[in-house]
Amino acid sequence: MTNPLIVAKNVEKSYQMGEVIVYALRGVDFTLYEKELVVVLGPSGSGKSTLLNIIGGMDTASAGELFYGELALHEAGSKELTFYRRNEVGFIFQFYNLMPNLTAYENINLSVQIAKNPLQIDELLTQVGLSDRRDHFPAQLSGGEQQRVAIARGLAKNPSMLLCDEPTGSLDLASGIQVLKLLRSFCQNYHKTVVIITHNTSIRHMADRVVYLKDGRVDKVEKNENPISAEKVTW
């Protein structure tokens, strides 16, 4: 087992909705290790996205403790969280969230220009297979291509982990497989932690570990001794 990257202790998240308090996380204990690919599975409303948002510094826990190394994320202010996101986290969304008026290259550059130790944009574009599309705008790219740009953008900052929220949710099988291959290769080649949140249970077979969430709690954690390659995933 490698070093722990994120340690969550009894993390809770609740929202006040009028007079009712809604609990999204009811005490999550969970550790994320360096260089692993983790798939988080669970039905709708189980707290997957909330957990990802909290780990990614987009949201804060209502109770409990969450550490990134020495950094106590549960106590961090918005400025600290901003710099945590800037330096340590790469995000991939279901709907890509690319800047519509920036080309593929420029979208990646947007991330590079704020990073301390960025990766080479052209090299990333080659790796995601889009070097010939570098000057295309998002509207000129297919969904799969847009998601690959988003992955390149997420990685370009050279973050410690890549957090992916339903990265294949809007893609067809072939494009989805391509995206999963990229995520796996980055985990291996760049030694980054990759977390994939999904409904798609087929993806769990390529993970090093699978975390099952249910009703805002970790139901179980499975270690996959022999993860399959992304090409073999099917749905």
Partner 1 sequence: MLWRKMLRDILGNKGSYLACLVLVLIGLVVFTAFSILSDNLRLSKEEFYTGQNFADGFVELTTMPQRHVETLSRIDGISHLSGRLVREVRLYAPQRQESVYLRLVSLDLTDPGRVNDALLLSGAELTGGALNAWIDNKFFEANGLELGQSLQVIAGGRLHELTLTGVGMSPEFTYPLRDLKEFYPNPEQFGIAFVPLEDMSTLFPDTRDRVNDLVFTLEAGADFDRVKELLEPELEQYGLRAIYPREDQLSHVMLTEEINGINSMSKALPLLFLFIAGIILYIMLKRLVEQQRGQIGLLKAFGYTNREVVVHYLSYALVVGSIGGLIGGSLGILLATPMTNLLFVFFNVPPVYTGFSLYYLVTGLLLSVSIFLFAGYHGCKDALKLKPAEAMRPPAPPFSGKSLLERVGFFWGMLTIQGMMAVRNLSRNLGRSVFLFLGIMISCAVVAMTWSFNDMVDKLVFYQFEEVETYDAKLILNLPAERKAVARELEKLPEVMRAEPMLEVPVALSHKWLEEDVLLLGITADSTFYNILDKRSNRIVPEKDGLILSERLAQKLDVQKGDSLDFGSPLFRLAKDQQVKVVEIIPQYLGMNAYMELSAVEGMLRQGKLATSFLLSVRGDTDETVGHNISTLRDRYRESDFVAGVDGREERFRQTRELMETFGSVIYLYVFIGVITGFSIIYSSSFIILSERSRELASMMVLGMTPREVFSVITFEQWFISFFAILAGIPLAQMMQWGFAMEMSTDMYTIPGELTLQSLFVAPLITGLSIWLAQRFVLSKIEKLSLIDVLKTRE
User: Which stretches of the chain bind partner 1, using CB under 8 A?
Assistant: 49, 53, 56, 58-59, 78-79, 82-87, 89, 91, 93, 95, 97-102, 106, 109-111, 113-115, 137-140, 153, 157
CA distances 203 to 152, 158, 208, Å, are 21, 24, 11
Residue 158 C-beta: closest distance to partner 1, Å: 12
The residues, ordered by sequence, that sit 6+ positions from 119 with a Cβ below 8 Å of its Cβ are 112, 155, 156, 157, 158, 190
Quick one: 197 or 207, whose CB is closer to partner 1?
197
The residues, ordered by sequence, that sit 6+ positions from 84 with a Cβ below 8 Å of its Cβ are 57, 68, 71, 73, 76
Q: How far apart are the first and last CA of the chain?
A: 30
Quick one: 172 or 231, whose CB is closer to partner 1?
172
Residue 197 C-beta: closest distance to partner 1, Å: 12
Quick one: 84 or 186, whose CB is closer to partner 1?
84
Residue 144 C-beta: closest distance to partner 1, Å: 15
The secondary structure of 79-147 as a DSSP string is HHHHHHHHHHEEEE-TT----TTS-HHHHHHHHHTT-SSPPPHHHHHHHTT-GGGTT--GGGS-HHHHH
Residue 2 C-beta: closest distance to partner 1, Å: 24
Residue 165 C-beta: closest distance to partner 1, Å: 8
Quick one: 161 or 230, whose CB is closer to partner 1?
161
**Bridging pattern class, strands 209-214 and 217-223:** antiparallel
Quick one: 48 or 204, whose CB is closer to partner 1?
48
Residue 97 C-beta: closest distance to partner 1, Å: 4
Quick one: 154 or 176, whose CB is closer to partner 1?
154
Residue 10, sorted as left (phi over 0), alpha (psi -120 to 50) or beta, turns out to be left
